Structure 1
Amino acid sequence: MRLPIEAVLDDVVAAVKTHGRCVLMAPPGAGKTTRVPLALLPAVQGRILMLEPRRLAARAAAERMAATLGEPVGQTVGYRMRGAAKVSKDTRIEVVTEGILTRIIQSDPELAGIGCVIFDEFHERSLNADLGLALVWEVRGALRDDLAVVVMSATLDAGPVSALLDAAPVVISEGRAFDVETRWLDTPTPKTTRLEQAVADLVLCALDEAGGSALVFLPGEGEIRRTQALLSGRLPADCVLRPLFGAMDFAAQRAAIAPCETGRKVVLATAIAETSLTIEDVRIVVDAGRARRARFDAGSGMSRLVTERVSKAEAEQRRGRAGRVAAGTCFRLWTKGEEGALAGFPPVEIETADLTGFALDLAQWGAREDELALLTPPHAGALAEARSLLVSLGALTPEGRISDHGRALAALPTHPRLGHMLSVAGAQAAPLAALLGERDILRGAGSDLDLRLRAVHTQDRAADRAGLERIRQEAKRLRKGLAQTAPLSTGAMLALAYPDRIGLRRKGDDPRYILSGGKGAALDAQDALAGQRLIVVADTDGHPREARVRMAAPITEAEIRTLFESQIAWQPVCEWSKREGRVVARKRETFGALVLDDRTWPDAPKTEIARAALDGIRQIGLPWSESARRFAARVTLMRGTGIAFPDMSDTALMADLDWLLPYLKGAKSEAALRALDITQALHSLLDWSQTQTLERDVPAQFTTPMGRQVPIDYSGDAPEITVRLQEMFGTTRHPSVGPNRVPLKVTLTSPAQKPLQVTMDIPTFWKTSYTDVRKDMRGRYPRHPWPEDPSVADPTLRAKPRGT
């Protein structure tokens, strides 16, 4: 059968011959995966590597191409992936999974013997594909200008990829798709209806209304198993039910994609069936509208799987599967109105994934992320967290260069965490590493990892049988080349992989833990490990504040001290305790955020105590006294004239409290801090010249005509004094302060200190209102002077003797 891609194969070959690069856009079903490598064989010197995002797609593509040539897999066409390979000296086309390419490049930067690298299904934008393309492009630019690069995609915008590859020629295949009718729900699915029940009902409806086999998209294995149980015994007699997900063995996967000899089939699949694979006879697609994605939280250092609505691009990709062989029908588990709320595209993995392996690959390559041709840059914070973890594992130096240990980890086909555990703990850690790489085989059995390890070594009937077999095979593969070392407990081995997830139980009845990396975690109260003081957490639900522990193992303090002796240290801690309202000085033995021992620090330096007391000031605020407020008000008045003086507002003074440090005088408690007089400390903020200017222009006191010093209050709208009226006799010019001569607000009082007049112009007062005051006061205070013209009278505080 002639495939649509064959119409543009000559264009692809010409682009590779002329430019050494090409971007091919071809819709699903066009035949690009199996036809393009074969078409390029005569034009390429050396081997062709083609990257596939999934193991099943890689094997299926290799088998299809080998069948086209009439050969078994392993001759002209072969494949290579983790734990499986079929290649020979005659292999010209090698289909590999994406992680394999990075290791090939790191071990042989010249890619000797390879003439072309093809990136298939690049629209999926996996982290390995992005990094692989960046490394291949750098190899081509620096070492191998003859190396051809082909990027193939179904839905990705070709423009940015072409620009990334120096304006690579873009070849577009129109493809061939049969008409697909799309049917939506009339009303939204009730929130009380389980997804699996709604999907099962829609599948039965679809089989009743349309012909052909059905491909049903579900987010994960759990939903597939539950939907399978709901459909069992309810399907038409001519239908066979087939699950399809990544963790299945290859034989079961092959059965799902193979054509039915009779009748039709219903394939319950994850996103593994969105691209690359052609499942024969499918004319019905049922889309549950959900996708499961890994989300990495750089703050907690933990990944979690989240189930989200599909994007429009994913929904369209799934819909197209119904039109591969004939006209078909797509049944969507949402209404047409709900479709507008879908995101355009799924998130790019480099933006959401754990970047630890990526950071190690960059360090091994000897390049920074901004030096490579990455279509999307990684998040700076997530990359910094990844590098910090690699430093703690000894894979990177503190300066960010790869160590010998890091090179050894990069050579292992595991996450750097597990690689570190294997390299230190040796062969005994292989089952644990394999177990951690597999989904939980004892769901609902609590968090204890030892239960799961025992299941691996026994025939536990409660465990997932297929999962157990995969773990055993992976452990056997990982053991190769590993040394036998001194026995370690499960918790000790786990701590090697997760030094940032060692948990110390908090005080209290609930099993809540502080992790060495600083985050929180909690166990169910009924969990078998709930009574443990120390645990190591392998898996959680990923909650950013306090994650729920799903898998863990106990560890002893002695084991922690043995494994991390160099990272455990006594830390003197002098801090303000808000709860106790005082400075607390202690010495704490810490490992990360864990406090293993805590003792009082009786001889804490005074400077440290003072620093901690500043935190107390930050809690309770500045202890303003009357004299301090008056001084600050005087300085504020000077600032209002435009002269350079420090800002003595609360906000400015609290922003940097170091000025107060020398004046704390050993104050350790809240009461002592509140009793402080900060006037002298405020004086210290002025230099000698500013002090002299302040004293001259804005004095703290006013000297009355009698020579008496009266405090000036600067806290109000205008500077203010209060004096006896008689004390101001003889005043012909109103007192003022400041370089701009701001008049004082003067409150004149009676001999009994009762306010008589508030004025800002005493000479005018003498001439006007004083007459009425005199009439009123001379009879009330006859022994005190009340001259007719106070401007020429002598100031006095004396009264006439009695009887005069």
Structure 2
Amino acid sequence: MKQFPVDQIVPEVKAALRDHRSAVLTAEPGAGKTTRVPIALLDEPWLAGQRILLLEPRRLAARSAASFMAASLGESVGETVGYRVRMDTKVGPTTRIEVITEGILTRMLQTDPALEGVGLIIFDEFHERSLHADLGLALTLQSRDVLREDLRILVMSATLEAEPVSTLLGQAPVIQSIGRMFPVETRYLKRPFEGRLEPAVVRTILEAWEQESGDLLVFLPGAAEIRRVEMLLGEALTDSRLRIAPLYGILSAQAQDRAIAPAKQGERKIVLATSIAETSLTVEGVRIVIDSGLMRVPRFSPRTGMTRLETIPVSKAAADQRRGRAGRLCPGVCYRLWPEEQDRFLQARSTPEILETDLAALVLELSLWGIADPAELAWLDLPPAGAFAQARELLRQLGALGDQGEITPHGRKMAELGVQPRLAHMILQAILLGHGSLACELAALLGERDIVRRGQRGHDADLRLRMELLHSFANGGHSSGRDVVVDEAAISRILLEAAEWKRALAIEADRGEQRGGGDVIGLLLAFAFPDRIAQRRTNGRFLLRNGRGAVLEGMQPLTNEAYLVAAELDNQGVDSRIYLAAPVSLADLQRECSEQFAEETIVSWDRETKSVQGRKRLRLGALMIKEVSLPAIDPQELLQALLDGIWEEGVDILPWTKASRQFQQRLCFLHQQDGSWPDMADEALAATLEDWLGPHLYGMKSAADLNRLNLFSALEAVLTWDEQRQMDELAPTHLIVPSGSRIPIDYSDPAAPFLSVRLQEMFGQQDTPRIMRGKVPLILHLLSPAQRPVQVTRDLASFWQNAYFEVKKDLKGRYPKHYWPEDPYSAVPTNRAKPKS
């Protein structure tokens, strides 16, 4: 039998799992860990005839690994070795090794937390850190701690940092295998390529095709780039030996198998692949790798609640994995489409999916498991709090969780379906309405790339068009009557997957409305995307229920719809571009989603009308559905809204008189002198409106009504009768000056009250007048006969002795008919030009 490098360390793996419940195995690409280790462990005494579960991150890798292991045993898949992937299972009564995708493990654990009959779980390619792998390991660890002390766990990877995983597993032994790696020459671009990616890739393929022998594996970020490169290659290469083989996740199993199969005799193969080919798979015959250096990953934004695909540079670990594909079977060459100096800018490892993806599926599984706080489980990376909270809120909207975060019966049914929670909720609701068949088709459609080719996509976002095309092809036609280019292969996959779901759920043809659905499609979308129900603002511009803006570019059939549901948006800019949507009627929403509407009574201050307005509103999240005025407003609510309005506008909106403003200023002066007096500054009044002003406002609702308010009485009521008497003594409103005039004291500056008085009225006054029982001297603004200031002083005696004589000269020249005595102390004060004789 052919030997693999990992065979040398199998005894160490056996010993580690014999003496410990866990182990970590790191093995370089090509070492054979995926296919050799499970078979080597089958007869271990601690396994005691139980099954081994081998987790693979992708369906293609699971089927490929199972086929390889079965062939090495001289058997067919489904005997000793079988596999379970979504909608495809090959296991039998004698199956001991089950190769499963990571989501299948979650379903198995939820059904049987003890995993009876399973002795070992192997997490393969764990360095990819998929969401399901992290969740599966966390659930497995708790299950082992509580129910299955004998359950073994083996984590395997090619580029994993082993120590954190070893610590998580309780200081599990770490075993390393050196892979059989043939030398790979790495060639870089001299400078970054300019323009679009695809022409640069094709130029490199043509160069490698001419200069090297063997098959090529080309890494591209996504299916769209693969299709464009495939088209350009078909135009540039006419070699009869050429076979172009796309390889990405949503291809059919048959197409994927053809891509990894060896080329026929005399044939050369160019495999155009996404990151699916980085690990687990050996693509037969490959000795040339061309790496675009890009990958496409989903990024979730808790702020918007939306996920969008981003094209980002690969990590250094991923680039090395890709490079290693060229040296699996013989010496090879790797072309990297970036300059060598850019290597140092690559991130060391890819970010774990749990840190940047939508966590709705994870939260639903945890709730089904009985976990409300993810910190109750052991993780390599704890799920981010923001994304976790966002997912819980979405699941509440979908009816999967109760108000306290507990899973509901509906949530249990959603989890049992094993599909994305949004789609699971949509299908279940649709079945109740008799539209289960249409929902399965719509779910499959949303799970695929757009069947209307990219060039047409921006012209029409209407999902009804896609459903028409789908049904046309299902009925043997090839057109919906619209001028669009469609992806027939994608349509075939959609119809196949929809049929699988209908069969699994025992759904027959829909009753009632036609299969095309009309507004039914929009209603079904509303079940899946309640946060993306949108209301028209202006032509092509919409407001989403979650408060975000959205826009349809150009004139489209959906442009003038009153309401629609956006299934796909780009989540960029102020207004997200809508890529896929369908109209929905308000009547359907109110009938089928009534629990999501909120009726509220709003009594509030309207700054435009400067009055309290009462309105009854019907809302759907941020969307205002209907608003009517209230015929009558509760007096207490009216009062509170008026107080809020006064606070918003500021106390200047109140009908201040000279007397009320002076009263306020006098109290401010007293408060500054003695903190036991109430603070009457504008800020303090605004902060205590309800206390001092509220009792005087009943029956009022507008700024005009406030003019009826006796503000002086309201302010005065703050003080007791005794305090009012003390106030008049300590801070009098007026002062009687020597001339007999009663002059008002100005308290506008609480730190410096002053008296504005004509100089002649103060003759005979020896000292500066004082208030606060003689403690505070008034500032004197001494005025000319024309009431213009001639002197400001705090010391009247000093003024008489010094400055008066200079001032007198000036005033005598300007006002010769007035009385200007030589001795102001003995002069008779007067409020006229001259004293009465």
Return the TM-score normalized by structure 2.
0.87
8 Å Cα contact 1:659/1:681 also seen in 2: no
1:476 to 470, 485, 499: 499
Matches within 5 A, 1:613-628: 623=652
Structure 2: how far apart are the matches of 1:370 and 1:652? 46
Structure 1: how far apart are the matches of 2:162 and 2:679? 58
Tell me the alpha carbon deviations over residues 262-281 of structure 1, each in whole angstroms, 9 at most, x when there is no partner: 34321110010111111122
2:521 to 486, 490, 512: 490
Tell me the alpha carbon deviations over residues 462-514 of structure 1, each in whole angstroms, 9 at most, x when there is no partner: 542322222222222222335667546222222222222222222x3x12222
What is the SS of the residue equivalent to 1:747?
strand
Do the aligned partners of residues 477 and 694 (structure 1) sit closer, same or farther apart at CA in structure 2, a change above 3 Å counting?
A: farther
8 Å Cα contact 1:659/1:685 also seen in 2: no
* Equivalent residue number for residue 240 of structure 1: 243
1:10 offset after TM fit, Å? 1.8
Matches within 5 A, 1:306-345: 306-345=310-349
- Of 787-796 and 34-43, more deviation after overlay is shown by 787-796
Do the aligned partners of residues 38 and 604 (structure 1) sit closer, same or farther apart at CA in structure 2, a change above 3 Å counting?
A: same
* Equivalent residue number for residue 514 of structure 1: 543
Matched AA of 1:230: L
Matched AA of 2:246: P
Matches within 5 A, 1:22-171: 22-43=23-44, 44-45=47-48, 46-171=50-175
Compute the RMSD of aligned alpha carbons. Answer: 3.5
8 Å Cα contact 2:793/2:799 also seen in 1: yes
* Equivalent residue number for residue 289 of structure 1: 293
2:272 to 257, 268, 275: 268
Do the aligned partners of residues 8 and 622 (structure 1) sit closer, same or farther apart at CA in structure 2, a change above 3 Å counting?
A: farther
What is the SS of the residue equivalent to 1:50?
strand
Tell me the alpha carbon deviations over residues 232-267 of structure 1, each in whole angstroms, 9 at most, x when there is no partner: 153355442211111111121111111223343211
1:605 offset after TM fit, Å? 3.8
Do the aligned partners of residues 512 and 136 (structure 1) sit closer, same or farther apart at CA in structure 2, a change above 3 Å counting?
A: same
Matches within 5 A, 1:738-777: 743-777=777-811
1:408 to 410, 413, 417: 413
What is the SS of the residue equivalent to 2:358?
coil
Unaligned runs of 5+ in 2: 479-484, 514-519
Structure 2: how far apart are the matches of 1:773 and 1:348? 86
What is the SS of the residue equivalent to 2:300?
strand
1:231 offset after TM fit, Å? 0.9
Structure 2: how far apart are the matches of 1:345 and 1:182? 20
Structure 1: how far apart are the matches of 2:178 and 2:711? 80
8 Å Cα contact 2:122/2:155 also seen in 1: yes
Structure 2: how far apart are the matches of 1:723 and 1:12? 104
Tell me the alpha carbon deviations over residues 119-161 of structure 1, each in whole angstroms, 9 at most, x when there is no partner: 1111111111111111101111111111111111222322222
- Of 71-80 and 721-730, more deviation after overlay is shown by 721-730
* Equivalent residue number for residue 524 of structure 1: 553
Structure 1: how far apart are the matches of 2:352 and 2:724? 62
- Of 466-475 and 107-116, more deviation after overlay is shown by 466-475
Matched AA of 1:442: V
- Of 782-791 and 141-150, more deviation after overlay is shown by 782-791
1:386 to 369, 391, 404: 391
8 Å Cα contact 1:704/1:710 also seen in 2: no
Structure 2: how far apart are the matches of 1:372 and 1:682? 61
* Equivalent residue number for residue 458 of structure 1: 472
* Equivalent residue number for residue 2 of structure 1: 3
1:168 offset after TM fit, Å? 1.7
What is the SS of the residue equivalent to 1:430?
helix
1:452 offset after TM fit, Å? 2.1
Structure 2: how far apart are the matches of 1:164 and 1:795? 97
Structure 1: how far apart are the matches of 2:249 and 2:553? 30
Matches within 5 A, 1:545-584: 545-576=574-605, 584=613
- Of 570-579 and 169-178, more deviation after overlay is shown by 570-579
Structure 1: how far apart are the matches of 2:27 and 2:85? 25
Structure 2: how far apart are the matches of 1:685 and 1:200? 86
Do the aligned partners of residues 741 and 201 (structure 1) sit closer, same or farther apart at CA in structure 2, a change above 3 Å counting?
A: farther
Structure 1: how far apart are the matches of 2:815 and 2:163? 99
Structure 2: how far apart are the matches of 1:132 and 1:308? 27
Structure 1: how far apart are the matches of 2:53 and 2:255? 27
* Equivalent residue number for residue 537 of structure 1: 566
Matches within 5 A, 1:192-271: 193-235=195-237, 238-261=241-264, 262-271=266-275
1:347 offset after TM fit, Å? 2.4
Structure 1: how far apart are the matches of 2:274 and 2:4? 26
Matched AA of 1:493: L
1:333 offset after TM fit, Å? 1.5
Structure 2: how far apart are the matches of 1:153 and 1:702? 93
1:612 offset after TM fit, Å? 5.1
- Of 153-162 and 270-279, more deviation after overlay is shown by 153-162
1:198 offset after TM fit, Å? 1.3
Return the TM-score normalized by structure 1.
0.90
* Equivalent residue number for residue 588 of structure 1: 617
Structure 2: how far apart are the matches of 1:652 and 1:210? 84
Structure 2: how far apart are the matches of 1:632 and 1:328? 90
* Equivalent residue number for residue 516 of structure 2: none
Structure 2: how far apart are the matches of 1:388 and 1:409? 16
* Equivalent residue number for residue 364 of structure 1: 368
- Of 497-506 and 639-648, more deviation after overlay is shown by 639-648
Tell me the alpha carbon deviations over residues 593-619 of structure 1, each in whole angstroms, 9 at most, x when there is no partner: 333322222323455456556676676
1:173 offset after TM fit, Å? 2.0
Structure 1: how far apart are the matches of 2:65 and 2:729? 92
1:674 offset after TM fit, Å? 11
Tell me the alpha carbon deviations over residues 327-386 of structure 1, each in whole angstroms, 9 at most, x when there is no partner: 322212122333343333322211221111111111111112111112112222222221
1:296 offset after TM fit, Å? 1.9
Matched AA of 1:385: Q
- Of 570-579 and 621-630, more deviation after overlay is shown by 621-630
Do the aligned partners of residues 217 and 779 (structure 1) sit closer, same or farther apart at CA in structure 2, a change above 3 Å counting?
A: closer
1:29 offset after TM fit, Å? 2.0
8 Å Cα contact 1:304/1:542 also seen in 2: yes
1:797 offset after TM fit, Å? 3.2
Equivalent pairs, count: 799
Do the aligned partners of residues 92 and 526 (structure 1) sit closer, same or farther apart at CA in structure 2, a change above 3 Å counting?
A: same
What is the SS of the residue equivalent to 1:176?
coil
- Of 570-579 and 663-672, more deviation after overlay is shown by 663-672
1:727 offset after TM fit, Å? 3.7
**Percent identity (aligned):** 46
1:93 offset after TM fit, Å? 1.1
- Of 395-404 and 534-543, more deviation after overlay is shown by 534-543
Do the aligned partners of residues 420 and 644 (structure 1) sit closer, same or farther apart at CA in structure 2, a change above 3 Å counting?
A: farther
Matched AA of 1:244: L
Matched AA of 1:478: W
Do the aligned partners of residues 659 and 438 (structure 1) sit closer, same or farther apart at CA in structure 2, a change above 3 Å counting?
A: farther
Matched AA of 1:430: C
8 Å Cα contact 1:616/1:670 also seen in 2: no
Structure 1: how far apart are the matches of 2:70 and 2:721? 92
1:621 offset after TM fit, Å? 5.3
Structure 1: how far apart are the matches of 2:108 and 2:611? 61
